[in-house]
Structure 1
Amino acid sequence: MAGKLKMQQIAVMTGYSVSTVSRVLAGKSNTSPQARSAILRSAQEFGVLDELISGRLLINGVIIFAPDRAFNSRDDTFYNEVIKGIVEAIAPHDIYIRYCGLEEQQADLKLFLKKASDSNINAMIIIGVDDPTIHKLAATLNKPCILINTTDREMLLDNVSPDHRAIGFSAARHLYQQGHRRLLCLTSLRRDTMVSRLEGVKEAARYFHAPFDEALNLVVTEGFGAVESEAALERWFSQHSQEQWPTAILCAGVFMAKGAQQVLQRRNLTVAQEVSLMVTDFSWTLSEPFSPALTAIQVPCRELGIEAVHLLQNRITRPHTPVFNLMLQGRLLVRDSVIRTTRSIPREHA
């Protein structure tokens, strides 16, 4: 009864019929943008949106933009898992989902505008597309839009991503706390997110007053595969004296760690006992067989999609709140591939 009374009050305040109010609050798309805006604004004043914020999504259709490989689990498991998280969070609602592939940079602007401007699409989620022009266009379409795992330098759109800098810091901190000072970081830097993770590693080095010289403590590859990582690390070892060899290697993925293990085995170096090995990676990759079991920072993945839907609901019900970034932390998994050397490095205070 209270719900009907509030709908009647919203109808009186806005000049629209009760049936139109009902359609808007049910998330149906067969209303004009003007009606939708007026009714949602009035619903906010009457407190109706506060009641709905943990309930139904007030949209009829959502489109997911992502690189083409994201829609095939064999091409990009990470983004495919993120999409599964979105689908999981939307499943309880009567909403249809559309998909569209976009390049990470220099995306097809005409295609984006065509798909995003569809009258049946009320909201957008953009995954892994760093093109700033896409972000600017999305902010002008008067439709709620959430970014996932990308960088919006104009700060126009809400974004959810792993806290890559904190993940890098946490991984390196664990190694430094185990007494390691000669740390070698094996990573790809093809995306800004991985650069942020490396910055976290450097921050940890500064925090523990440990040396970090890119010429000595960093090996960069193009991708994350075992073969490429093995070749790059083999070159590094052949170019450095044994006194410079690391006591710990931090890899940006399990497959990179497999490449590193091959290099260590050729030099009769045992993982953990002689060189500790640690990774940052996702849950399904960390389930890959590896001996000894890898100590790791588990990077959030499917959770990104779930939280993006909650952000979308928040943006719909509270459209004028400040734009913000939601950063999800990683989780430390202490296993067998890292052991303490001599003692933890104390944190020196000025």
Structure 2
Amino acid sequence: MSTIHDVAEKAGVSIKTVSRVLNDASSVSEKTRKKIEQAMQALDFAPSAAARMLRGRPTDLVAVIAEQLTTSPDSSEIIKGIQSVCEQLGKMLLIGETGGRAQNASRLVNDLRERRVEAIMFATPFHAQVTLEPILGATPTVLANCFETPARYPQIVPDDEGGGYAAAKLVLNAGHKKIALLQLIPYMVATELRFQGFLRAMAEHGVTPRAEWLQHGAAPIPDAEFSHLQDAIDRLFATGDRPTAILCGNDKMAMRTIFILQRRGLRVPDDVSVVGFDDFRLISEALDPGLTTVALPYREMGEQAARHAFAGDASAGTMLLPCRPVERGTVTRPPKGQGA
């Protein structure tokens, strides 16, 4: 590996002159600067981050500590959002995965602080409450898609209650009153918030939810999250008085729901309208017709987290980002005579 000494020897200048070029000093002539840059290129020389730290210069390194985020394709847009801001500002992004283990997070924080990262962002694949160990010192810290109570750092989270409201409005505005809700796993932050939004929209339209149509379409079972979905849908259609619209906890659930309905001989949306959540485009745009859904602002959360981190904004507080409806082809008016 080439060193600053090798560069100085090849360029025929002193080590001090090379150091001035590395520090962007204006006292070096353009001719000498060009000679040194050519020597660096010929020797494949790259100044180390450690050397930058010793000179008191920013390392241009930032980090995100993620909980299984890079392996979750529907939420990996958070990383893309952070990376897009890094590219704009000339920062290098380091990514560490915790696998959901607190001891891994502590080790990663220690390693990253030793490397003098300029900021650390924490991100989760779903909206969650977290507890961070108090080992961050003065390193600017921002949370994305997760939050602490009380807040110690800026935290960027989706407005899941507003998303639940938006999902319900999609079918209420189309004239539906017989609406079923297949929720995510019980006790998840998003599950509770979206349910509150759903209830608010139903109340505004004077529609009373039917208890037997409020079910959980997902279960906390590893590798078998939707194992109970078939039974849940069977219960919705156990009698002739059936829902004309189904709101699903996410797009993966919505896709499976559509397949189950089709096996029952029902058409989407002519017989039953279906709404997803996430706008996971590998699903929502691939289905025919395209899935009407509510988009989670994954990429925007990443972008906002990065901008807060780079701005050095250490003020604690929560920023809610809207979950916006995306209308495609799986919602229409209820079948004739089935609106009430």
TM-score, with length taken from structure 2 = 0.72
The residue aligned with 1:11 is none
The residue aligned with 1:60 is 60
The residue aligned with 1:305 is 302
Q: 2:258 aligns with which of 257, 261, 268?
A: 261
For residues 223 and 253 of structure 2, the distance between their equivalents in structure 1, rounded to whole angstroms, comes to 5
The residue aligned with 2:26 is none
Deviations 1:100-124 (A, max 9, x none): 2224464545414423432522210
Deviates more, 1:125-134 or 1:264-273: 125-134
Q: Pairwise mapping of residues 1-350 of structure 1 onto structure 2 (< 5 A)? A: 29-30=53-54, 60-67=60-67, 69-71=68-70, 75-104=71-100, 106-108=102-104, 110-128=106-124, 130=128, 132-134=130-132, 136-137=133-134, 141-189=137-185, 191-222=188-219, 229=226, 231-238=228-235, 241-314=238-311, 316=312, 318-319=313-314, 322-341=315-334
Cα distance, 1:250–1:116 mapped onto 2, change above 3 Å = same
TM-score, with length taken from structure 1 = 0.70
Number of residue pairs matched?
284
Task: Give the secondary structure class of the aligned counterpart of 1:79.
Answer: coil
Task: Give, in angstroms, the shift of residue 267 of structure 1.
Answer: 2.6
Cα distance, 1:148–1:228 mapped onto 2, change above 3 Å = closer
One-letter code aligned to 1:324: G
Which runs of 5 or more residues in structure 1 are unaligned?
Answer: 1-18, 20-27, 37-57, 346-350
- Are 2:292 and 2:330, in contact at CA under 8 Å, matched by a contact in 1? yes
Cα distance, 1:119–1:241 mapped onto 2, change above 3 Å = closer
Task: Give, in angstroms, the shift of residue 228 of structure 1.
Answer: 5.5
Cα distance, 1:187–1:107 mapped onto 2, change above 3 Å = farther
- Are 1:107 and 1:131, in contact at CA under 8 Å, matched by a contact in 2? no
Task: Give the secondary structure class of the aligned counterpart of 1:156.
Answer: coil
After superposition, the CA RMSD in angstroms is 3.2
Percentage of identical aligned residues: 20
For residues 333 and 254 of structure 1, the distance between their equivalents in structure 2, rounded to whole angstroms, comes to 12
Task: Give, in angstroms, the shift of residue 286 of structure 1.
Answer: 4.5
Deviates more, 1:111-120 or 1:272-281: 111-120
For residues 94 and 61 of structure 2, the distance between their equivalents in structure 1, rounded to whole angstroms, comes to 8
Cα distance, 1:29–1:186 mapped onto 2, change above 3 Å = farther
The structure with the largest alpha-carbon Rg is: 2
Cα distance, 1:332–1:118 mapped onto 2, change above 3 Å = same
- Are 1:162 and 1:299, in contact at CA under 8 Å, matched by a contact in 2? yes
Cα distance, 1:92–1:177 mapped onto 2, change above 3 Å = closer
Cα distance, 1:142–1:220 mapped onto 2, change above 3 Å = same
Deviations 1:262-306 (A, max 9, x none): 322233221111111111123523454212222222222222211
Task: Give the secondary structure class of the aligned counterpart of 1:91.
Answer: helix
- Are 1:127 and 1:150, in contact at CA under 8 Å, matched by a contact in 2? yes
Task: Give the secondary structure class of the aligned counterpart of 2:147.
Answer: coil
For residues 306 and 121 of structure 2, the distance between their equivalents in structure 1, rounded to whole angstroms, comes to 9
Cα distance, 1:93–1:266 mapped onto 2, change above 3 Å = closer
Deviates more, 1:273-282 or 1:262-271: 262-271
For residues 231 and 291 of structure 1, the distance between their equivalents in structure 2, rounded to whole angstroms, comes to 25
